[in-house]
Chain A
Amino acid sequence: MFHWLEKNPFFFAVGVFLVIAFAGIISILPDFAKSSQPLVGTKPYTVLELTGRHVYIKDSCNACHSQLIRPFKNETDRYGKYSLSGEYAYDRPFLWGSKRTGPDLMRIGNYRTTDWHANHMWEPTAIVPGSIMPRYRHHFTNIANFETAYAEAVTVKKVFNVPYDKPNMPKLGTFEEAQKEALIEAKKIAAAMKKDTDNNDIKTALDNGQIPEIVALIAYLNSLK
């Protein structure tokens, strides 16, 4: 058998690859599977937060912001505790990012508030003089795509067994239930957005059962802890 392999360098190379790949798989995968389990206390996103996550992805916030705090003192001083892989268990896809034009946002929910985000997204330079972050005023008028987020939540629940509707976990329910729940949350956020921004449009939209992008985005940012 080995004679045959020695005379066929191509298949010999394939054999070498298989042996090394097998060794790699049995030494990497078990550890990987273990560390990608959700940490105790990590919860899947509510549908409103997921809606905001779609806004975040759509407007490429991850092009300028990372969500990965490395275990270096200078980072943990500014952003809080270093990230652990289990914290990303419900991120599909994760938004680590690869460039920090702006600060890391992994735990932004711990040290910024709804009102702050509203003012900052409306006019970053009014809050942080000299900021080069673009304004996102269209978030205040665009209506977020709640349906897609609900569909995603249902899909990951069915396909990956994400623990929606389990005790102490976010509720999903039927589309109408989810929408009602999200509107209640969204109205709380809208009430906490106070200054400088034009809130009337947002309140009217919410009263009509629509969720403006800014509200969903803030719900998402507040959930990053």
Chain B
Amino acid sequence: MVTLTIDGNEITVPEGTSIMRASMEAGIEVPKLCATDMMDSFGSCRLCLVEIQGRAGMPASCTTPVAPGMNVSTQTQRLKDVRRGVMELYISDHPLDCLTCAANGDCELQDMAGAVGLRDVRYGYDGSNHVKARDNGGINLNWAPKDESNPYFTFDPAKMHRLFAVCAGL
């Protein structure tokens, strides 16, 4: 077993546990998009970043295992800024369709945008994107149409906000 401190709470977890899992055990929710219990952690969305005393940078909590005596912060201002910055990038390449979207109200992306306090997308929506079929008067080669061939779910590439996303429900 390994004992560490997360946001001031001491917690003991089995060796090899990720910081994210340990945080959950301590009742602390770290923002996340790409980690799920169904898959090995992949570390691509970069919302679950944390700061560890004595270590440079911001490691992802889903891919970083706990270590004895570690002192982890999950909610510093620096982390909040980066998370909001990441979310702003996500939404800059996402349709503004919530009102008509099947996932509305049960959507991780929506939840996370709220959780990190994203209000404004300063990049605008005129840039390169996977959202619009036509762009700046021409065909958008990044765009692909919805796949509605399956009776149980629709796959809309424009709403695919992470690699290897689980698409059912979107």
- Co-assembled chains A and B: no
